[in-house]
Chain A
Amino acid sequence: MILCCAVATAVSRSVLGKQPTYHIPLYQLGRPAVLVVALLFGAALGPVAAFVLKGLRWFAALQDRSARLAPFMPFVVLSTLGVASAWLPHLLGNGYGAADAALHGDLAIPLLVTLPILRFGATAACQAAQVPGGLLTPMLSIGALIGGLVGAGVSHVWPGTPPGAFSLLGMGALLAGTSRDPISSVVLLSELSSDYHLILRLACACGAATLVSRPLDGARSIVWARAVRRARSQRCRGLPSRSTRRATSLR
């Protein structure tokens, strides 16, 4: 598997170049106290991750209750999102733009407050209406926005602390809390950003988020929720469900 991944990466990099997915400035978080803040921040994002998982299920249940409207839900959701995007263009897309802006500290406080909530609503509604754009990158962008907000607050207490560094921690912590994979989250964030300077802080935040979110919402993750959703959809259409076995194995 490692050989396969290495060859695939080498081939794609030879065509696309070596630029990282997220362009992150080099942050210096030398204070030991920041390590404690990273732990506390990760622990604080644990309940947020549990809420996100419950919210995804709630939206899916809402969609299932309005069964007769189900075929029309993509139009309802996408047109609502389109109207909302007239005022908030950051709502559109997979979240790379919003995450990049948060990582560079380019977003104003009101946007950092409203965008995570609205982006979560858009992601959950699209997922429930079965026009999904994935869950991994939305989790990263929501985490980056929450991290940017916390970073803005921390930089007031410790002037010179870059808010963008907390965006990176937020991305890792929310992803770890919702996927229940702290090690994968640390590796993924380090690879995506090509930045290994914050790996210890990331590990603290991701570990704390996973530890706190797991008892709050069981051992289930966004991967499991999506597999179950697909299995239900296939079963309701009378199709043989490969996802059912996957969902059962992920329980």
Chain B
Amino acid sequence: MLIAGAATGIAGVGLLALLRLVEQLVWTSASRSTFAAASPLRRVGALLIAGVATTTIRLFLHRAHTASGGVLVTSRYSSAESSWSWLAP
């Protein structure tokens, strides 16, 4: 328990440091008012780059998965089963 707790604490500190590093790289500071301090052009640019990167990685993973014989996501999603109506209480 002690080792697990200590490892979790160290991992938490490490992840927080990584998050601050990414924030500093994108916004040049990691304070809470960092978004307001950044220029509007930087805000739009950062989100556009994030969108392009996420979409590219997703498309790459999607193609890699379907090429390896996996189930095509779109074909399963378009079935009647994909409706979220069964989630309604």
Contacts and interface: CB of A to CB of B under 8 A. Distances in A.
A225 B84 CA distance: 11
Contact of B89 (A7, A8, A220, A237): A220
A97 B13 contact: no
B5 A5 contact: yes
Interface in A80-139: 81-83, 85-87, 89-90, 92-93, 96-97, 100, 130-131
Contacts of A27: none
B4 interface: yes
Interface string B32-46: 111110101101111
Give the size range of A's interface with the partner. 35 or more
| A interface SS class | helix
Interface in B2-41: 2, 4-6, 8-10, 12-13, 16, 32-36, 38, 40-41
Contacts, number: 139
A184 interface: no
A157 interface: no
B67 to A, nearest CB: 13
A218 B89 contact: yes
A7 B1 CA distance: 9
A55 interface: no
A192 interface: no
B54 A75 contact: yes
Interface of B: 1-2, 4-6, 8-10, 12-13, 16, 32-36, 38, 40-41, 43-48, 50-52, 54-55, 58-59, 62, 65, 70-71, 73-74, 76-78, 82-85, 87-89
Interface of A: 3-12, 15-16, 57, 60-61, 64, 67-68, 70-72, 74-79, 81-83, 85-87, 89-90, 92-93, 96-97, 100, 130-131, 217-218, 220, 225, 228, 232, 236-238
